[in-house]
Amino acid sequence: MACLSTMTLLLFMLFMFVITNHPLTMGLALMLTSLAMGIILSLNGPSAWIAYMLVMIFVSGMMIIIMYMSSLSSNENISPSTFMKKTYTALLILSLAMFFPLKQQQLNLPKSAHYFSDSLFTIIYKTYNQLMNSMTTLIIFYLLIVLIVAVNIVKVSKTPLRSFGE
C-alpha cells in the first residue's frame, strides 16, 4: 500500500514538473520526485543504501540548481494562472483517487532461504527482478530525459568565446 501511494505521489510530481514554468517550482517537483523514487527503492530494493545514495545525489544537485535559479530570478513571483490551478486540482484529485484503490494487491515474493543471502547473484536478482523491472525502466528513461534536456539547455551561442577543440 505504501508503494502504491508513493507511486501516485511520483506520478503527480512528474505531471507537476511538466506543466510548471517557474524554475523554483520545477526544482521542488524534481526534489519531491527524487524523494518518492527513493522511498519506492528503499521499500522494494535489496538494500536501503542504494535509495539513500540516490536521494542524496539528487538533493545535492537540486540544492545547487535552486541556489543558482533563485539568484537569477530573485524578484520574480510564482503566480500560477487559472489554467494551472485547475490542472493542479485535477491532478491532485486523480492522484488521490489512485491513492485509495478498491482492491489491495498482495505481492508474492519468493520465500526461499537463499533469497535473503548477501551473494552478488542475489543482489543483482533483487535489483532486476520482475517486481523492480518497471522501476529500473523508469529510472533509465528519467536519466535519458535529463541527459536530453541538459544537452538542449546548453546552446552553442551561450558557450564560452574561446573554444579549446578547434
Please state whether the predicted TM-score (pTM) of the whole model is above 0.75: no
Instruction: Summarize the chain as % helix, strand, coil (round to 5).
Output: 70, 0, 30
For residue 163, tell me if it sits in a domain.
no
- Give a yes or no: residue 86 inside a domain: yes
Cell numbers found for residue 66? 535552486
For residue 73, the 8-state DSSP code is S
Does residue 165 sit within a domain? no
- 45 in any annotated domain: yes
- C-alpha 49, offset from chain centre: 17
Average pLDDT over residues 148-155: 74
- Averaged pLDDT, 19-31: 76
Number of domains in the chain: 1
The pLDDT score that the predictor gives to residue 4 is 62
Distance CA 42, CA 51 (A): 5
Give me the domain span that covers residue 135. Answer: 2-101+114-158
Q: Is residue 62 part of a domain?
A: yes
What is the tens place of the pLDDT at every residue in 135-144? 778 888 888 8
Cβ-in-10-Å burial (0-12, 13-18, 19+) of 33 comes to buried
Range list of H helices, 73-81: none
Q: What is the pLDDT of residues 52-86, one digit of tens each?
A: 888 888 778 777 777 777 666 666 666 777 777 77
Exposed, middle or buried, 163 (CB in 10 Å: 0-12/13-18/19+)? Answer: exposed
Residue 148 has pLDDT above 70, yes or no: yes
**CA–CA separation, 50 vs 34, rounded Å?**
13
Is pLDDT above 80 for 115?
Answer: no
Residue 109 domain flag: no
Band of pLDDT at residue 149, cut at 50, 70 and 90:
confident
Residue 109, pLDDT score: 46
Of the listed ranges 45-59, 107-121, 122-136, the least confidently predicted one is 107-121
Residue 153 maps to a domain: yes
Tell whether 17 is covered by a domain.
yes
Nearest to 45 by CA among 56, 34, 37: 37
